[in-house]
């Protein structure tokens, strides 16, 4: 059970990998010195995991609780997705979670029922549907603040 076979490696869902990843990470002593929770952690996405790019996470699965990793964008996005996901049976990849996009209620991940060979294409399609947030320059911010101030003054 602690080894990853070719079959599971070709379709790495968080559910399949969770137990085998935990066993292999603990056996290798990957994060024991750097992470207090290494032995008891159930999170399928671990910041200390070397193969994290190949993992998948479902919204009903645990999130890394180590305080030092809480500042990572993808962990913050995991928390948002967990609150707002419409369907817990759809997964998110690290690439999707790293995307600095608006996470609205009803967000959906990818279906695990579709073939593995189409995953990269489906990820690209998902990323296209969820564009990155646009950054606001200092001038734009000042203009928006002025506009809001005028609106508040009109309401008085």
Q: Which of 55, 66, 63 is nearest to 81 (CA)?
A: 63
Question: Does residue 36 form part of some domain?
Answer: yes
**Angstrom distance (rounded) from CA 72 to CA 51:** 17
Question: Does residue 1 form part of some domain?
Answer: no
pLDDT at 109: 93
Q: Which long-range contacts (CB under 8 A, 24 or more apart) does 104-108 make?
A: 107/81
Show the beta-strand stretches assigned E in 58-133: 92-93
Question: Does residue 62 form part of some domain?
Answer: yes
Supply angle C-alpha 130, 9, 87, rounded to 5: 40
Number of structural domains (the chain) is 1
pLDDT at 13: 45
pLDDT at 39: 73
Question: Does residue 115 form part of some domain?
Answer: yes
pLDDT at 3: 37
Q: Which of 47, 51, 122 is nearest to 78 (CA)?
A: 47
pLDDT at 135: 87
pLDDT at 7: 39
pLDDT at 83: 93
Describe the chain by its helix, strand, coil percentages, rounded to 5.
50, 5, 45
In tens digits, what is the pLDDT along the chain, a chain of 156 residues?
Answer: 333 333 343 444 444 434 434 434 443 444 455 677 777 788 888 888 888 888 999 999 999 887 666 678 899 999 999 999 988 999 999 999 999 999 999 999 999 998 888 999 999 999 999 999 888 888 999 999 999 999 999 887
pTM: 0.68
Question: Residue 51 belongs to what domain range?
Answer: 6-155
Query: Residue 57 carries which DSSP code?
Result: E
Read off the tokens for 46.
């671990």
Question: Does residue 16 form part of some domain?
Answer: yes
Q: Which of 100, 38, 95 is nearest to 68 (CA)?
A: 38
Supply angle C-alpha 23, 57, 99, rounded to 5: 130
């Amino acid at each position: 059970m602690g080894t990853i076979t070719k079959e599971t490696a070709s379709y790495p869902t968080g559910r399949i990998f969770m137990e085998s990843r935990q066993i292999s990470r603990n056996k290798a002593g990957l994060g024991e010195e750097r992470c207090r929770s290494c032995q008891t952690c159930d999170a399928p996405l671990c910041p200390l995991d070397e193969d994290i790019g190949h993992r998948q996470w479902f919204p009903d699965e645990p999130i890394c609780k180590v305080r030092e990793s809480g500042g990572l964008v993808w962990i913050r996005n995991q928390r948002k997705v967990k609150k707002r996901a419409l369907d817990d049976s759809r997964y998110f990849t690290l690439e999707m979670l790293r995307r600095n996009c608006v996470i609205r209620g009803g967000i959906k991940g990818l279906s695990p029922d579709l073939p593995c060979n189409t995953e990269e294409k489906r990820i690209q399609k998902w990323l296209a549907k969820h564009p990155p947030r646009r950054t606001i320059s200092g001038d734009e911010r000042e203009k928006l603040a002025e506009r809001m101030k005028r609106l508040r003054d009109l309401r008085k």
